[in-house]
Amino acid sequence: MLTCNMCGSNGTTVCVDGPGTWHCYDPVKGAPFPFRVGLCERCGHVFGAWDGDRAHLYADEEYVTSEFDLELYTTYVSFVLAGLPPRNRTHRILEIGFNQGPLLKRFYDLGFECHGIEAGKENVRVARKKMPAAHLSAGMLSAEWLGEYDHDFFDVVILTSVFEHITEPADVLRMIRPYLTPQGRIVIVVPDLCAYTPTVQINRDDQTLYGCSQHKFFYRNLFLCYAQHVNHFSAPSLTRYLSALGFETRQVATIGYQWVSAVRSEPVDNSFEYPDLVEFHRRVMQYYERTLREMRESVIERLRGRRVVCYGAGREFGYFCDIFEPLGVEILAVGDDSPPVASKHGVPVVKPKSLAAYDPEVCIATSFDYENEIAAQAATTLPASTEIVTLTALLSTYDFEMPNWINCNLQPIAALVESPVSARLAQSHRVRMAASAITVQPSPP
């Protein structure tokens, strides 16, 4: 029986039941394990659960983000500053899960008094070198750690790509609330449950910056088997939960992920009983379940019974095997020119030039980074008769189209204030402010 991460209810419906995978494909962590995604029949929260003996692997992993000087971090800063009231003292900011500090460093350079807590000890060591005057701690957020501060201390609390990993999100919000100043902001950035798509269009500049193709496939989220994401929020659900726990949403933006900024307020509703949200998320999950089934069938029809090899033994190869090998897609070998990689699937790992010996009909470039370049390299080592395909092209065989989830029959949610970000950001394709998009018509009687 699954217990809801948000409201603690045991009344759940299992939406997805399949293999769980970690952020980084690592054979040392063993074979895929049972991972279930449930829908709470009380509050509508969509959440995942793994078997308890795996939890330490998640907690101990050193999760390192990119150190690129990305425009995205500038956008983060603009989003935060847009609603921040002036102070007659230095603004104080707390980032929970700051990694190696790429975002917090921006505020540090602006003169903010920076505080942070991060699980990865090596990450903290690196961040301290960048921000010697910041107050940075290694460990997990706790009431004891926060108790070292006075109430009404922080002007900004940021959880960027963190809230989806927290097993008790409601408790964390309750814990943070007293330490936020009355007009301070809590900023949460999470994946959007209503925007899990098999491919995401990447603009030309980002293709160059990230070294990726025109599309990027997010099937770790789409299959909802990404074991470190134990919470899946939509904009309606996150704003609803924030309201129930004493936060008033002031900004919502869609910038790849879902961005929400809220101020401290009095709890509006502590019941956590949202039948309209339950029904909305049930329809979302039913849509994903049907789409996944049809997409898998499309891929299997193309590959089953053919002589298949892969080029690239990284984590995407592991994910591909996890999903498609049990469905009858046999992989003869995987080519990799890096040091030998142990394959938990029993697939021989060979030098790329050795793939030709398997007389393959299909070679799949099992890497999303520089996948077109990898496919081109494969073409130089394989017979002309071998069909070479990228994962993006393969998984896009199924014609996937996201519905407009904004047209859902939810009760109106508290009005949201559109962010007064700069005209450049507001006009950019990167930012779509959603002040009116989330207030929708009530369900008919």
Q: Would you state the pLDDT for residue 81?
A: 86
Q: Which two tokens stand for residue 156?
A: 């900004």
Residue 220 within any structural domain of the chain: no
* Residue among 340, 337, 338, 386 nearest 361 (CA): 386
Give the mean pLDDT per block of 10 residues along the chain (445 residues).
88 74 51 74 88 58 55 78 86 95 93 94 93 95 96 96 90 96 94 66 47 43 63 89 92 77 86 88 81 78 92 77 80 79 73 93 83 87 92 67 52 34 31 29 29
Residue 346 within any structural domain of the chain: no
Residue 364 within any structural domain of the chain: no
Give the strand pairing for 154-160 and 349-350.
unpaired
Residue 112 within any structural domain of the chain: yes
294 three-class SS: helix
pTM > 0.95: no
Residue 424 within any structural domain of the chain: yes
**CATH (domain of 95):** 3.40.50.150
What range does the domain containing 84 cover? Answer: 71-191+229-268+417-433
Residue 342 within any structural domain of the chain: no
Q: Would you state the pLDDT for residue 392?
A: 72
103 three-class SS: coil
Residue 185 within any structural domain of the chain: yes
Please state the length of the chain.
445
Q: Would you state the pLDDT for residue 83?
A: 76
| Cα 420 to Cα 433: distance, rounded to the nearest angstrom | 10
Name the DSSP letter for residue 386.
S
Cβ atoms of residues 84 and 185 within 8 Å: yes
Q: How many distinct structural domains can be found in the chain?
A: 1
Q: Would you state the pLDDT for residue 95?
A: 97
Residues 409, 406, 441: CA angle, nearest 5 degrees: 35
Residue 319 within any structural domain of the chain: no
Strands (E), 329-408: 331-335, 349-350, 362-365, 387-390
Residues facing residue 233 across a β-bridge: 192
* Residue among 38, 32, 34 nearest 8 (CA): 38
Q: Would you state the pLDDT for residue 368?
A: 64
Q: Would you state the pLDDT for residue 427?
A: 33
